[in-house]
Amino acid sequence: MPPGELWPYKSEGTHQGYSILINFIHSFRMQVFFLVAGLFAALPLQWLMNRIFSDGRAMRIAPWLPWGLAVCIALIHVYSGSYVLDAPVGLGLDNKVFLMYAFYFATGMVAYHLREAFFDSITRWGSKLAIALVMLVLFVVTVSVHVQEDQENPGALVWYGAFFLGGYYAFVCWFVLALYRCLCDHFSRLARYLSEASYWVYLIHLPITVAVPMLIEHWPIAREIKFSLVLIMTLSLSVLSYHLLVRSTFIGWLLNGKRHPFKLPFTTLYSGKDTEQVA
């Protein structure tokens, strides 16, 4: 898209591969966020949900959660009459995308109360990826066939195409969760540090990702190197600002519920003892 419609700056050296990468990341980033948010938000309602899921037979629905979520997402697309849900701007809660994220949030809350069966169901990331790819291929084929048959109305929605799209969205999230559990199912001081820094990185990274490409646009190097530099510089500056300005300050307490003793960067990783609050 032209600069200004979605992004204030656009590099002259572009490539379709980056659009594919962006669309892939956007297909799970906010969805996984709301799944995990629902997982943690369920704790205060544990007394109520335990009554609903007190029957052991309720645990059997855990493997079917992505399919149920897929149906809900598909119904939202059918209701909106489009494969594309416009991103919400402002506080217009009537936007369909809010409803979609609400389903992810609710699924996360249910997953918490089925957590033993839920975590057992996300152990094989390969099968989740395979299902997601099959759903994506079926969606693309469905849309392509429809465009060939109805060239006058190429954007018309096909209900089973919406189901395939919903299936992709759901199972790509399950793939990310299963992959994370496979690779990170152990305590890591570095992972703990990065998880505590992630909220600040999320808040501060956007202006850096706009400014850095503008500064290096005319450097006589390949766009792949520029892309890597933007990622490295954005992450480095974001984490460094977290360490120096946030981790040991009131802002760190506000974001993470605790303040850590200040230590110089790169001197040591933080141990479990460092999680105690400081006055």
Judgement on whether residues 61 and 141 belong to the same structural domain of the protein: yes
Domain termination residue (choose one: 184, 218, 248): 184
Judgement on whether residues 98 and 215 belong to the same structural domain of the protein: no
Do residues 114 and 61 make contact, with C-beta atoms less than 8 angstroms apart? yes
Judgement on whether residues 174 and 240 belong to the same structural domain of the protein: no
Judgement on whether residues 224 and 163 belong to the same structural domain of the protein: no
> Residue 237 has what pLDDT?
95
Judgement on whether residues 232 and 120 belong to the same structural domain of the protein: no
* Confidence category of residue 238, pLDDT binned at 50, 70, 90: very high
Judgement on whether residues 90 and 38 belong to the same structural domain of the protein: yes
> Residue 268 has what pLDDT?
54
Q: What is the pTM of this model?
A: 0.75
- How many residues are present in the chain? 279
Judgement on whether residues 179 and 200 belong to the same structural domain of the protein: no
Q: What is the pLDDT of residues 3-14, one digit of tens each?
A: 555 666 777 767
Whether residue 10 lies inside any domain: the answer is no
Query: Does the structure show a pLDDT above 70 at 265?
Result: yes
Judgement on whether residues 117 and 227 belong to the same structural domain of the protein: no
Whether residue 106 lies inside any domain: the answer is yes
Domain termination residue (choose one: 135, 150, 184): 184
Judgement on whether residues 65 and 125 belong to the same structural domain of the protein: yes
Q: Give the residue-averaged pLDDT of 124-150.
A: 90
Q: What is the pLDDT of residues 114-125, one digit of tens each?
A: 888 888 888 889
Judgement on whether residues 166 and 213 belong to the same structural domain of the protein: no
Judgement on whether residues 161 and 201 belong to the same structural domain of the protein: no
Report the number of distinct structural domains present in the chain. Answer: 2
Domain termination residue (choose one: 134, 169, 184): 184
b/e per residue, 1-40, with b = 16+ CB within 10 A?
A: eeeeeeeeeebeeeeeeeeeeeeeeebbeebbbbbbebbe
> Residue 41 has what pLDDT?
83
Mean of all residue pLDDT scores within the chain: 83
Whether residue 1 lies inside any domain: the answer is no
Query: Does the structure show a pLDDT above 70 at 67?
Result: yes
Ranking 86-90, 102-106, 143-147 by mean pLDDT, the lowest is 86-90
* Confidence category of residue 233, pLDDT binned at 50, 70, 90: very high
Q: Find where tokens 């849309």 sit.
A: 143
Domain housing 265: 189-275
Residue 219 DSSP SS3: coil
Judgement on whether residues 124 and 227 belong to the same structural domain of the protein: no
Nearest to 230 by CA among 220, 241, 217, 239: 217
